[in-house]
Structure 1
Amino acid sequence: MDTAERALLADAVRKTLVSGADLADLGWPAMLVEEPDTVVPLLFRLLGETGTHAPVLNDVLLHAAGRPLGGTPPLPYSGGVRLEWVRDGSAYDSPLDPGLPLRRTEADDPALPLAAGRRALGWWLLGTGHAMLALARRHVLDRHQFGRPLASFQALRHRLAETYVALEGAEATLTAATDDTGAVLAKAAAGRAALTAARHCQQALGGIGFTAEHDLHRHVRRALVLDGLLGSSRELTRAAGVLLLREARTPRLVDL
């Protein structure tokens, strides 16, 4: 898929997500099977940027396991909790982010390969982080204080620059992730970057960022929930450290 085709696909996916239409009508199942390395980063990043959601994480995990699409596998969550992503419109209970159709389950599936899901969630977190950065950037450019735009204040510039660097680093890690260890590190990096974005962008937006009328709080809640799915950034960082200590070597993630 060349650059022009990717741009057309991104535009079609964005319109589908914003309109609330079914991704299956766009050919999502076929694209996942035929072009996973292209469509998964594109779709999940757009889910973050648009603040929408779809039960596509289920499909990514099921496809990685070689199982039929359409099911609801149990999803490990931070703290030993297991959730399922509801597909059928039945009741769910996601108190931190009521917009996500997640509910607790007692089911478990130790054989479910998580690497593909962690990479997908990493791209979703990356898109969410960029959405928060865009909101903060627009605010500091438009608002003035003491006769100067907020963007001229060095403290705010440093916060937004740190956010941008964290997001760029997470994207590089996601792009390089090709195995289980890479997926663990990429999900951890993306989670940390999204939480960094939430912290710094909240400071840049000030009081308005706490209001229900502003979009920031929706992205902050989304980042907190997605960070916990399939292992939080803290848990995955600890797991990567245990792996490195056990193997007494550092795996090569990128050939330079």
Structure 2
Amino acid sequence: MRKAMSAATGPELDRALAGLGWPELLAEWPDVAVPLVFRLLGETGAHAAVLDDVVRHAAGYPGPGPVPLPFTGEAWVVWDRDGKPGAAVDEELPLRSVATGTELPRQAVAAARRALGWWLLGTGHTMLTLARGHVLERTQFGRPLASFQAVRHRLAETLVALEGAQAALHNAEGEFGALLGKAAAGQAALTAARHCQQVLGGIGFTAEHDLHRHVRRTLVLDGLFGSTRELVREAGAHIRAAGSAPRIAQL
């Protein structure tokens, strides 16, 4: 699958994944297929309409037509399979705004949040890899950039955030677990975008470097099915109403 995602994206990747058995994997082993495929999408920077597949499968919706997906700020978008660039911050994604949408079943929302969490985790790790490679190669004042404590602290904080998000996703059972997993992954990816941009400096803003693609991808993915800020607020309201915080993982 990594080879397919490195060689294709959009509708071409949709066809390649279908040939590799993605629909069958999603139907029979979603707990294996979703983390594998979505994390690879993040790591390679490719995109496909697999989020729509996950929502349809979890909701039990038949038919090939796209499902309106909730976006931050009470907006709705559709992931078009024709591959035409949309108007989102990430211009590569074929997202199209629609006026309204239908509230999705809770199990479909939870499944989509888990999938997006793995996608965010993958793109966060790629940003960290790009930044790490840069500081190992470049020098400043006669010293490798990787030797500066401030640089090392930023990269270490990014790694800790990503590892924590991965642990949350591994334990993202149920609706509340999926909410926390997506929030943790979104926060980790945003942390990676901020710190890695600082470490890379001016080159990270250029079109020639890959970082900007992952930063824009993070901003869009974070907004789908609730932004990190919205989900944290929702989690707080849930805990206040329940009067206690549920144990997500048995440590």
TM-score, normalisation: structure 1: 0.92
Asked whether the 8 Å contact 2:239–2:245 carries over to 1, the reply is yes
1:156 matched to 2:151:
yes
1:235 aligns with 2:230: yes
Distance, in Å, in 1 between the alignment partners of 2:198 and 2:82 is 38
Aligned partner of residue 114 in structure 1, secondary structure: helix
1:93 corresponds in structure 2 to: 86
1:9 aligned residue:
none
- How do residues 188-207 of structure 1 correspond to structure 2 at under 5 angstroms? 188-207=183-202
Aligned to 2:211: 216
Q: Which one-letter code corresponds to 2:66 in the other structure?
A: T
Offset, 1:93: 2.7
Superposition deviation, residue 72 in structure 1: 1.1
Q: CA deviation at 1:95?
A: 3.4
Aligned-residue sequence identity (percent) comes to: 63
Distance 1:181 1:32, change over 3 A: same
Q: Give the AA of the match of 2:180.
A: L
Partners in 2 of 1:104 and 1:127 — Cα distance? 25
The 4+ residue runs of structure 1 with deviation greater than 4 A are none
Tell me the CA shift for residue 253 of structure 1: 0.8
Aligned counterparts of 1:19 and 1:212: Cα–Cα separation in 2:
20
Aligned twin of 1:6? none
* Equivalent-residue separation in structure 1 for 2:250 and 2:143 (angstroms): 46
Task: Give the superposition deviation at 1:206.
Answer: 0.7
Distance (Å, rounded) in 2 between the aligned partners of 1:59 and 1:41: 14
Alignment partners' CA distance in 2, 1:67 and 1:121: 19
Q: Work out the CA distance in 2 between the residues paired with 1:238 and 1:118.
A: 16
- 8 A Cα contact 1:86 1:92, kept in partner: no
Per-residue Cα deviation, 1:189-222 (whole angstroms, up to 9, x for no partner): 1000000000000011011111111000000000
1:109 paired to 2:97: no
Following TM superposition, by how much is the alpha carbon of 1:137 offset from its aligned partner in structure 2, in angstroms? 0.2
Q: Which moved more, 1:195-204 or 1:63-72?
A: 63-72
Query: Structure 2: 5+ residue runs without aligned partners?
Result: none
The one-letter code matched in structure 1 to 2:33 is V
CA–CA distance in structure 1, aligned partners of residues 69 and 198 of structure 2? 32
Task: Indicate conservation of the 8 Å contact 1:132/1:219, yes or no.
Answer: yes
Displacement of 1:84 in angstroms is 0.5
Gaps of 5+ in 1: 1-12
Q: State the shift of 1:69 in Å.
A: 6.1
Q: 1:103: how far off? A: 0.4
CA distance in 2, matches of 1:87, 1:122: 21
Distance 1:109 1:179 in 2: 21
Query: Which residue identity does 2:204 align to in structure 1?
Result: G
Offset from partner CA, 1:53-85 (integer Å, 9 cap, x none): 000000111111122363311110000110010
Equivalent pairs, count? 243
Paired residue type of 1:76 = P
Give the Cα separation in 2 of the matches to 1:189 and 1:148. Answer: 35
* CA positional deviation for 1:92: 5.1
- Whether the 8 Å contact between 1:93 and 1:102 is mirrored in structure 2 is yes
2:220 and 2:146 mapped to 1: Cα distance? 30
- Structure 1 residues 36 and 238 mapped into 2: Cα distance closer, same or farther (>3 Å)? same
1-side partners of 2:113 and 2:95: how far apart? Answer: 17
Q: Matches of 1:37 and 1:26 in 2, distance apart?
A: 17
- Residue by residue over 1:38-58, the C-alpha shift from the partner in whole angstroms, topping out at 9 and shown as x without a partner, is 110011000000001000000
Map of 1:43 onto structure 2: 37
Q: Deviations over 1:98-145 (max 9, x none)?
A: 100000112412133300000000000000000000000000000011
Contact 1:47 1:124 in 2 (8 A): yes
Asked whether the 8 Å contact 1:163–1:193 carries over to 2, the reply is yes
SS at match of 1:84: strand
Q: Work out the CA distance in 1 between the residues paired with 2:88 and 2:164.
A: 31
